[in-house]
Amino acid sequence: MLTRPVPRTGEALPVVGIGTWRGFDIGGTESERLARREVLAALFAAGGRVIDASPMYGHAEMVIGEELPKVIGHERPFVATKVWTRGRGQGIRQMNESLRLLGVNSIDLMQIHNLVDWHTHLETLHAWRNEGKVRYIGITHYTTSAFEDLEDVMRRETLDFIQIPYSIGLTEAAERLLPLAADQGVAVIINRPFEGGMLFASVGGKALPSWAREVGCASWSQYFLEFILAHPAVTCVIPGTGNPDNALAALVTGSKRLPDETEARCMHEYWKRL
């Protein structure tokens, strides 16, 4: 899989990972767990490493922690999760619980979920990074209405990552946040690349344009993901799924040649005309 560097350190990060919202909030039946192990196996087989979770995602952290050891022969995962509560003590308790559920002593990326009590948690996270309990720190949000607040935090604080929405149908991040991240050396993870499935509904079973294969697209999911990855400020995109077939379709995108700026512009214009 193609990789891009984390600006702060130069660490190579595969460009497609897996989000676990909804897809990994499951029970303990073998059929449910098998499908999630197959998703994780597909991630590593494709050369991916990034797995994103949150306490907000129900059982996702527990499922990751229990199923990752059963996926044989994989590279070291890059596990990202979040703190999603208020107060220093509550934040510390929640992050320690994430360590326990994930079965690790250190988390690769700890993010402040939707900017909840970010002043308080950033102070803790800087201390945790110094102690080696987290490797990177960041902030997230899932709505464009929060972009002004995100920008304000980015200008005031030293961050390693941001996680934001950006898609072929939701391009506001390209106006200010993505250029700012590039200028400040902040890695960018993109969430909701399919806008919760709304992009697939918008194409309504229509065929890909004849020239789509020239940019490596064999499906609409690849078309949407390649558009996102065409932006040079994007480090990684995390389509969320608990379905192995959908995971495979998305992950193959990371092994293809990505569109250049002109091609991405054509992809966007074609989508707007549908």
* 3-state per-residue secondary structure call for 28-51: CCHHHHHHHHHHHHHHHHCCCCEE
Radius of gyration over every alpha carbon of the chain, rounded to an integer in angstroms? 18
Count of other CB atoms within 10 angstroms of residue 22: 14
Whole-angstrom Cα distance, residue 251 to residue 40? 11
Contact status, residue 247 vs residue 241, Cβ threshold 8 Å: yes
| Chain mean pLDDT for the chain | 96
Q: What is the pLDDT of residue 92?
A: 98
Picking from 158, 155, 138, the residue whose alpha carbon sits closest to that of residue 78 is 138
What average pLDDT does this structure show over 230-246?
A: 96
At 112 the three-state DSSP class reads strand
Contact status, residue 37 vs residue 253, Cβ threshold 8 Å: no
Q: Where are the domains of the chain?
A: 3-273
Task: For the chain, count helices (H), then strands (E).
Answer: 10, 10
pTM exceeds cut of 0.85: yes
For strands 78-83 and 12-14, give the pairing.
unpaired
Amino acid making up residue 69? P
Q: Which tokens is 136 given?
A: 């990177």
Provide the CATH topology of domain 3-273: TIM Barrel (3.20.20)
Whole-angstrom Cα distance, residue 163 to residue 150? 10
Cα of 267 vs its chain's centroid, Å: 22
Whole-angstrom Cα distance, residue 248 to residue 258? 17
Q: What is the pLDDT of residue 164?
A: 98
Q: What is the pLDDT of residue 257?
A: 87
Q: What is the pLDDT of residue 256?
A: 83
pLDDT tens sequence across 187-210: 999 999 999 999 999 998 899 999
For strands 134-140 and 161-165, give the pairing.
parallel
Axis-axis angle for helices 177-184, 147-156 (nearest 10): 10
pLDDT tens sequence across 49-98: 999 999 999 999 999 999 999 997 778 999 999 999 999 999 999 999 99
